[in-house]
Structure 1
Amino acid sequence: MRLQPPDTVPERIGFLLLPRFAMVAVFSAIEPLRIANRIGGRALFEWALISRDGEPVVASNGMTLAATCGLAEAPITPSLAVCASFEPEHGIDDELTAWLRERAVAGCVLGGMDTGCYALAAAGLLDDQTVTLHWECLPEFRTRFPRVDAVESIYEITAEGFSCAGGSAAIDMSLDLIRRRHGEPLADRVREQLVHDQGRQPASRQRGSPGQGVDPLLNRAIALMEAHLEAPLSIQALAGELGLGWRGLERLFERYLACPPQRFYVERRLAHAHRLLLETRHPVTQIALACGFASASSFTRAFRRHHGLTPSQLRRRHRPG
């Protein structure tokens, strides 16, 4: 998935499977390559599935996928995709980050799928680069790694590396690779076999917002809210950014979402907090601040009103013991 083609065909790609990786992303990346081999009548691509110890890895859906080899035996491939999903920092340690740095020094182009960029960033390999990862983790990732330019796009491919948001975005990234290496006609035939729509552009947003396509001004308002979860804008300031008065902003949200902007904004922040509580190990106080609450107590009250239980109760329910 590197930008420049390697010297040999078939092109070899490694997939490093971290615990609870997203199986849908891995299969979505590999299937277009398999189909390209079949249609092309020869092996255009090869892939290796790598785990820490060479043993099978349990994915986020509970299914187990066999690995080709472990870290110690893994061949140095032209490209290597780090595959993760929930709790992306759980499987990251000094051994793994050192191994990734060794791959980079050896000339392997590294990338992340879904939340795989967490491991690359922890290894110090993404500073001053533009990457993408699953939209749920973007606010947390930006806070954790401020020197990385993390954007909400479908996929990113640069001379330094590659990344995709996971899910079906991996299909788009693999189709892009097939197109660049072997031409538009082959990529189109693969896409037809996958019954996949015309490939999205890399810069396409990963998701639509509530009301998207209904009113551009509403879309801008929601985008501003999502960009200011940690330090929320006042409704007056938000309206000013849009060239509206606060009453105009109220009418906009009531018309399309039947909800005042204040409540919508708080619900967005609480939804982000819900994800952080389940997918990270940060203390409740840190999560409260990351979601724009002045204290853990005010956060807990708002969270209980909205979700029906406290942050600590939520964690205990989903993480017994």
Structure 2
Amino acid sequence: MDTFQSALKLQNIGFQQTTESVGHERVVRVAFILLDHFSLTSLSTAMDALATGNLINSKTVYKVSTYSLLGGLVGSDIGIPLSSETLSVEKINHDALFVIGGQRVRLSSNPTIRRVLKKTAGGRGVVAGVWNAAFYLADAGLLDDQYCACHADSCALINEYYPQVKTGEAEYTFAQRRATCAGASSALDMTLAIMQVLSSQHDADLVDEIKRVHQPKKPPFNDVTLGAVSLVKPVPRPLNVAVSLMENHIEEPMEIDEIASHVGVSRRQLERRFARYLNAAPNRYYLELRLTRARQLIIQSNRSLTDVALATGFVSYPHFYKRFKDLFGLPPMTFRDNYYSSDFSNSERYAIAAGF
């Protein structure tokens, strides 16, 4: 299988697949402990990051379970209940354990939560406290002489009960496989930091891609190339204009000589700048840009594959078929079917807990 060469690689590497690679993923088990009146936004933010990791077909699959002290339905802060299993030490054998707090969660020491946190931490798992749930990590003795993040309304209580724990102003902390965050707005960054540790080496770029998905606003081109690659030096204006021309002429691609003429440089000068800043020749970058757009259309629309081919500048479907398969490892139709099928996107590939 061919690979992406240009700076677009990070946007697409998670989507590359072969029929042989399905079913050979590393499963990471993640447990969420839901406290009464837990923050539903915090939970969904963390779970959505895990689900996105699964959806882009990484080599790490996150399998999620939800628990509570009594089991059954647990009321969230906005009144929507979620189902859960009864929490017990015997059931917890996970790679990561999140305790989900919230503004209306009443904090009190609980021996079961204390034991499962100690068990997970002792087994080299990651333990995390969301919103004010740093309280429970502190109660388990897992934050002694460490900084933690918690909601401002709960810091005083933690300081009173656990003076050996340092509460700071950071939105989230992650050290020695202990993570805390102050609320829903920082749950994503904390979860991404945890995923960076839990993911396999193959997924080194996975977190950057998930962040791009969840923070979709496109930065200025001079700061970040297509939301994927940070650049050390400002992008020359001719390259900036050239890429903009390519983005605006996907359906009817321009000739490279024509693009060079529009930006006022020679073809050779343009090629040198593409090679230096985008790691590919202009033709190659243009092809990968069009196939990136094709991948987005295949996943996010019901358009026929022939329409997708025409919309991305391919004069014939066979040519599009070959190019797409070269880079993504599967024919377009198989790629679309597998992305949504139960074989490729089953309950273990999606990070969806019971009842969520």
1:20 pairs, out of 32, 37, 40, with 37
Give TM-score scaled by structure 1 length: 0.53
Distance in 2 between residues matched to 1:56 and 1:73, nearest whole Å: 21
Give TM-score scaled by structure 2 length: 0.48
**Is the 2:31–2:66 Cα contact (8 Å) retained in structure 1?**
yes
Distance in 2 between residues matched to 1:167 and 1:196, nearest whole Å: 18
**Is the 2:103–2:131 Cα contact (8 Å) retained in structure 1?**
no
Distance in 1 between residues matched to 2:176 and 2:192, nearest whole Å: 18
SS at 1:97's partner residue?
helix
**Is the 1:88–1:118 Cα contact (8 Å) retained in structure 2?**
no
1:143 pairs, out of 160, 163, 179, with 160
Distance in 2 between residues matched to 1:76 and 1:164, nearest whole Å: 23
Are residues 1:63 and 2:63 paired?
no
CA drift at 1:92: 3.5
CA RMSD of aligned residues (A): 2.7
Q: Which string of whole-angstrom CA distances, capped at 9 and with x for unpartnered residues, describes residues 199-236 of structure 1?
A: xxxxxxxxxxxxxxxxxxxxxxxxxxxxxxxxxxxxxx
Seen in structure 2, the aligned counterparts of structure 1 residues 98 and 37 have a Cα distance that, compared at 3 Å, is closer
1:111 maps to which residue? Answer: 128
Residue type of the alignment partner of 1:53: L
CA drift at 1:88: 4.1
2:56 maps to which residue? Answer: 39
CA drift at 1:183: 2.4
Size of the alignment, in residue pairs?
Answer: 191
**Is the 1:16–1:51 Cα contact (8 Å) retained in structure 2?**
yes
Distance in 2 between residues matched to 1:36 and 1:132, nearest whole Å: 25
Distance in 1 between residues matched to 2:76 and 2:215, nearest whole Å: 25
2:204 maps to which residue? Answer: 183
SS at 2:91's partner residue?
coil
SS at 2:136's partner residue?
helix
Are residues 1:161 and 2:178 paired?
yes
CA drift at 1:109: 3.0
CA drift at 1:119: 1.6
Seen in structure 2, the aligned counterparts of structure 1 residues 106 and 191 have a Cα distance that, compared at 3 Å, is closer
SS at 1:10's partner residue?
strand
Distance in 2 between residues matched to 1:11 and 1:95, nearest whole Å: 23
Percent pairwise identity: 24
SS at 1:133's partner residue?
coil
**Is the 1:127–1:148 Cα contact (8 Å) retained in structure 2?**
yes
Correspondence 1:105-254 to 2 at 5 A: 105-179=122-196, 181=199, 182-184=203-205, 186-196=206-216
Distance in 2 between residues matched to 1:113 and 1:63, nearest whole Å: 18
**Is the 2:142–2:178 Cα contact (8 Å) retained in structure 1?**
no
**Is the 1:55–1:70 Cα contact (8 Å) retained in structure 2?**
no
Q: Which moved more, 1:97-106 or 1:152-161?
A: 97-106
**Is the 1:25–1:113 Cα contact (8 Å) retained in structure 2?**
yes
Unpaired runs of at least 5, structure 1? 1-7, 199-321
Seen in structure 2, the aligned counterparts of structure 1 residues 147 and 47 have a Cα distance that, compared at 3 Å, is same
Q: Which string of whole-angstrom CA distances, capped at 9 and with x for unpartnered residues, describes residues 276-305 of structure 1?
A: xxxxxxxxxxxxxxxxxxxxxxxxxxxxxx
Unpaired runs of at least 5, structure 2? 1-24, 219-356
Residue type of the alignment partner of 2:204: G
CA drift at 1:89: 4.2
SS at 1:156's partner residue?
strand
Instruction: Give the number of the structure whose alpha-carbon radius of gyration is greater.
Output: 2
2:98 maps to which residue? Answer: 81
Q: Which string of whole-angstrom CA distances, capped at 9 and with x for unpartnered residues, describes residues 150-200 of structure 1?
A: 11112111114111122121111223344553223x3333233324569xx
**Is the 2:125–2:177 Cα contact (8 Å) retained in structure 1?**
no
Seen in structure 2, the aligned counterparts of structure 1 residues 146 and 83 have a Cα distance that, compared at 3 Å, is same
Residue type of the alignment partner of 1:152: E
**Is the 1:50–1:74 Cα contact (8 Å) retained in structure 2?**
no
SS at 1:26's partner residue?
helix
Q: Which string of whole-angstrom CA distances, capped at 9 and with x for unpartnered residues, describes residues 35-93 of structure 1?
A: 11111256522221111132121111111011145325523102111111135444533
CA drift at 1:114: 0.8
Seen in structure 2, the aligned counterparts of structure 1 residues 188 and 93 have a Cα distance that, compared at 3 Å, is closer
